[in-house]
Amino acid sequence: MLNPTKVKNDFPIFRRKIDGKEIIYLDNAATTQKPKSVIDAIKDYYENFNSNVHRGIYKLSEEATDMYEKARKNVSDFIGGNDQNGLVFVRNATEALNLLASSIGQSLKRDDEVLLTLMEHHSNIVPWQFLMGKGVKIKYADLKEDGTLNMEDFTSKITQHTKVVSVTHVSNVLGTINDAKELARISHEKEATFILDGAQSVPHMPVDVKDIDCDYVAFSGHKMLGPMGIGGLYGKPDLLSKLPPYMGGGEMINTVTTEGSTWADIPLKFEAGTPNVADAIGLSAAVDYLKNIGMKEVRKHESEMILYAFQEEKYMENLKSFGPRSLHLRGGVYSFNIGDIPSFNIQRELEANSIRISRASMHPHDVASEIDKEGIAIRSGHHCAMPLMARLDVQATARASFYIYNSKEEIDKLFIGLQNATARFGH
């Protein structure tokens, strides 16, 4: 069984104290901390192997290329990819989704449709909105009151015009786990390309792209113990091969003449310029660390954490938490508010329900600011999901998101911190 206190010892940052207090880090949906093995792998690369890849015919470059391609294979295997050439290294999930929207977008025409959901992160909304200028329509599948996707609404919004369906696997606000396999099946039935935003799932649960049968999946390394600035786009190799390139430059070409150019094979076709070799190797070390624990164990631990939060929240007056209550539909993301924090509306503000007057509410920034004084890091705001905030009719939420180094004792401290914060705030 996963022992979070033991896991914590592998992470140098937790030796640090801030104002004499241990760090309780509950913002893992934003980014995760790095184990020593990841930091060492990056250091080792720069100290012993640094050189440019795929170019030099000298020893250093051959070794670096070998390490980079082994990292690709390791990351590809981790998500169940059956061909490492389907794994393109990108900066993060955002870049992967921009690449897809741009390259797939080239073949989209006026009145073609892209289907998203109302629980998407801005990175799976804005790149698609770039296509609206050429007449592409964006549709959004609605949620049910329990925070799960409304499958009837989703199905009704796929039409013969739907060319792309792009959906998050796990909501970064509600923690909702979407049935990716079923969504892929429905999408393919309508001959739409199915894209999975795996930024909040790949780090937290077993993900098998073959089993899901998704056409593409996007994820970020830094949310799964890896370094910042590296992430993955996995695509079915036959689809990736047909997709036009995103950025031009070195590495991604076959030949260049003054008349024009031809493209390299995948994955290099999508990796213009010198790649982020060190961080790809760091991400591979993160994958090794997670494999060693086992993704089923990671998932089980986070389920226990969210269940414990459900049990403890009862003692907190005025706390409202969001997202599905069934553990099998819920990742380790816990969004909540103290009292009601409705979205801004001048007329409504002028009525006597302002939170300044209502002592039952405490704005999430104030919540986060107050418990920061006790060394607890949580997020507050719209979590880059403003359409979801509007749908929930909240301006913002506070959010605690769990990972392998978080313990039940830390959840206790979170709720004690919240009790103290509301007391100080004059409730």
Partner 1 sequence: MSEDIAYEVMMDHYRNPHNYGTIENATNRITEYNPICGDTVHLEMIINEGRIEDIKFVGRGCSISQASASILTETVKGKSISSLNDLTDQKYLMDLGVSLGPARERCALLSLNALRKAIAGDGTAP
Residue in 80, 375, 381, 387 binding partner 1, rule: CB under 8 A: 381
CB of 362 to partner 1, least distance (A): 9
Per-residue string for binding with partner 1, 338-367, x by CB under 8 A? Answer: ---xxxx-x--xx---xxxx-----xxxx-
Q: Which of 163, 382, 399, 413 binds partner 1 (CB under 8 A)?
A: 382
Distance CA 77, CA 98 (A): 24
Q: What are phi and psi of 382, to 5 degrees?
A: -100, 0
We find the least distance from the C-beta atom of residue 420 to partner 1, in angstroms, to be: 16
For position 369 contacting partner 1 by CB under 8 A, the verdict is yes
Write down the least CB distance from residue 341 to partner 1, Å: 8
Give yes or no for residue 121 binding partner 1 (CB under 8 A). no
Catalytic residue among 281, 338, 371, 384: 384
- In the complex, minimum distance from the CB of residue 150 to partner 1, in angstroms, rounded to a whole number: 24
Under rule CB under 8 A, residue 120 binds partner 1: no
Q: Which is nearer to partner 1, 91 or 363 (CB)?
A: 363
Minimum CB distance to partner 1 smaller for 92 or for 395: 395
Nearest residue (CB) to partner 1, 58 versus 344: 344
The rounded distance, in Å, linking the Cα atoms of 90 and 106 is 20
Q: Which helix (H) or strand (E) covers residue 335, if one does?
A: strand 333-338
Q: Report how many residues bind partner 1 under the rule CB under 8 A.
A: 24
* By the rule CB under 8 A, 97 interacts with partner 1: no
- What is the strand order of the sheet 193-197 is part of? 87-90, 231-235, 216-220, 193-197, 162-168, 113-117, 137-141
Stretch that binds partner 1, among 77-85, 165-173, 240-248, 336-344 (CB under 8 A): 336-344
For every residue of 82-138, DSSP letters joined together read: S-GGGEEEESSHHHHHHHHHHHHHTT--TT-EEEEETT--GGGTHHHHGGGGGT-EE
> Is the distance from CB of 289 to CB of 37 less than 8 angstroms?
yes
Return the axis-axis angle of helices 408-424 and 295-312, rounded to nearest 10°: 30
Query: What are the tokens at 30?
Result: 């934003």
Residue 363: CB minimum distance to partner 1, A: 4
Do 290 and 77 form a contact (C-beta atoms < 8 A)?
no
How far apart CA 382 and CA 375 sit, in angstroms, is: 22
Nearest approach in angstroms of CB 17 to partner 1 is: 18
In total, the chain counts a number of residues equal to 427
How far is the first Cα of the chain from the last one, in angstroms, to the nearest whole number?
Answer: 40
Is residue 290 part of the contact set for partner 1 (CB under 8 A)? no
**Per-residue tokens: 48:** 């012993």
Applying CB under 8 A, among 88, 207, 389, 421 the residue interacting with partner 1 is 389
Q: 269 vs 382, which CB is nearer to partner 1?
A: 382
Q: Looking at this protein, which amino acid is placed at residue 192?
A: A
Beta-ladder partners of 217 = 196, 234
CA-based R_g, the chain, Å: 23
Per CB under 8 A, does 377 bind partner 1?
no
Closest CB to partner 1 among residues 293, 386: 386
Q: Is the dihedral of CA 41, 90, 178, 209 positive or negative?
A: negative
214 catalytic residue (yes or no): no
Footprint of partner 1 (CB under 8 A): 341-344, 346, 349-350, 354-357, 363-366, 369, 380-382, 386, 389, 395-396, 426
- The residues assigned a catalytic role are 384
